[in-house]
């Protein structure tokens, strides 16, 4: 892989894709390709095939997906299943047909069974039932992992799946209806602080354990995978450290400076009790995360405040 290798980053305007673009640019890569959803609808197989035939990328990073939290997954199961299948299948198949030998597929820790042993190892995939609230997204991503594994096994191409834990950072989605837990908390505590430290209501009991990875760390893991030939098809990407949702809320509350009460609505679902990644395989390969959660939350909140006026997804 040289610095002029033509690399297509699907989803380059999203949180993950933009972080990958920044990381590759900083590392000296000069031939990056990105298309907005208006320029290229990744759900359209014919359009994706035409794009690959014209542009002929040498490597592909699939950071494009329909994503969201528990509420969004619960309300739009068909879209989360079908649109993710369409996006990834079109990209993987077009890459294979157009002789792309390097493909990085991104998924999520939700591909693992709801009650799998902790921390989650790659070999636990497909050993038990999924978490019902996000099974639609998970099933799509599992199909992508298996498609890449099949191409790797049958054709010997370097197609690798990276499964990050819960992500956060700049360009995150702060929409309360569709966001994940950490950015949603940042917005809720900020708004409550602005309104005289009103109480903040949060879903669930606060007892589930979660692991969080700064998106710039994931971008570095993807850069590592681009520049190295990894010996296996599936790798977890995380910190290997988790905390309770309650502890997360208290950390964000302190960072934001909110002085009011936290009210837990136990009638709302908690989701999976625990999702901690075993990241031994990536460490053995030569990569590990470096951003501490406290610093990551601080810089993410600062980014949120700085971009309230400009960033369309914030919409306070």
Question: What are the Cα distances from residue 207, in Å, to 8, 86, 124, 151, 211?
Answer: 40, 35, 23, 40, 13
DSSP string, 75-132: H-HHHHHHHHHHHHHHHHHHHHHTT--EEEEE--GGGS-TT--SSBPGGGTTSSPPPG
210 marked among binding-site residues: yes
Distance CA 142, CA 148 (A): 10
167 has binding-site annotation: yes
266 annotated to bind ligand:
no
Q: Is 235 one of the catalytic residues?
A: no
- Consult the annotation and say whether 240 binds a ligand: no
Of the residues 137, 159, 168, 235, only one is catalytic, namely 137
Cα 164-123-97 angle, rounded to 5 deg: 70
Was 144 annotated as part of a binding site? no
180 known member of a binding site: yes
Neighbours of 118 (CB within 10 A): 16
213 is in an annotated binding site: no
37 among the known binding-site residues?
no
User: Is 107 within any annotated ligand binding site?
Assistant: yes
Sign, CA torsion 303/301/248/114: negative
Q: Give the whole-angstrom CA distance, residue 218 versus residue 166.
A: 10
109 a known binding residue? yes
188 marked ligand binding residue? yes
What residues act catalytically?
Answer: 137
Residues annotated within the binding site are: 11-17, 106-109, 141, 164-167, 180, 188, 203, 210, 270
Residues annotated within the binding site for substrate are: 188, 203, 210, 270
Residues annotated within the binding site for NADP(+) are: 11-17, 106-109, 141, 164-167, 180
């Amino acid at each position: 892989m040289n610095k002029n290798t033509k690399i297509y980053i699907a989803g380059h305007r999203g949180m993950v894709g933009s972080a990958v673009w920044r990381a590759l640019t900083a590392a000296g890569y000069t031939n990056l390709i990105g298309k907005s959803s208006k320029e290229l609808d990744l759900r359209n197989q014919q359009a994706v095939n035409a794009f690959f035939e014209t542009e002929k990328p040498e490597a592909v990073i699939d950071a494009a997906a329909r994503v969201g939290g528990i509420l969004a997954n619960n309300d739009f199961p068909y879209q989360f299943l079908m649109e993710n299948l369409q996006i990834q299948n079109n990209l993987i198949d077009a890459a294979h047909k157009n002789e792309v030998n390097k493909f990085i597929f991104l998924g999520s820790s939700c591909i693992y069974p709801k009650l799998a042993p902790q921390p989650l190892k790659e070999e636990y995939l497909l050993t038990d039932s999924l978490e019902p609230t996000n099974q639609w997204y998970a099933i799509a991503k599992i199909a992508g992992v298996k498609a890449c594994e099949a191409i790797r096994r049958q054709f010997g191409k370097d197609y690798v799946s990276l499964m990050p834990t819960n992500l956060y950072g700049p360009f995150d989605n702060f929409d309360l209806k569709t966001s994940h837990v950490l950015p949603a908390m940042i917005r809720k505590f900020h708004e409550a602080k602005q309104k005289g430290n009103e109480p903040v209501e949060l879903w669930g009991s606060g007892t589930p354990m979660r692991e969080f990875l700064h998106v710039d760390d994931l971008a570095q893991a993807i850069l590592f995978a681009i520049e190295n030939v990894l010996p296996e098809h599936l790798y977890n990407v995380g910190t290997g450290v988790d905390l309770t949702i309650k502890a997360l809320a208290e950390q964000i509350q302190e960072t934001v400076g909110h002085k009011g009460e936290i009210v837990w609505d136990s009638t709302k679902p908690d989701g999976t009790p625990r999702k901690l990644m075993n990241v031994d395989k990536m460490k053995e390969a030569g990569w590990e995360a470096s951003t501490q959660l406290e610093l990551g939350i601080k810089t993410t909140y600062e980014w949120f405040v700085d971009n309230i006026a400009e960033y369309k997804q914030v919409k306070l």
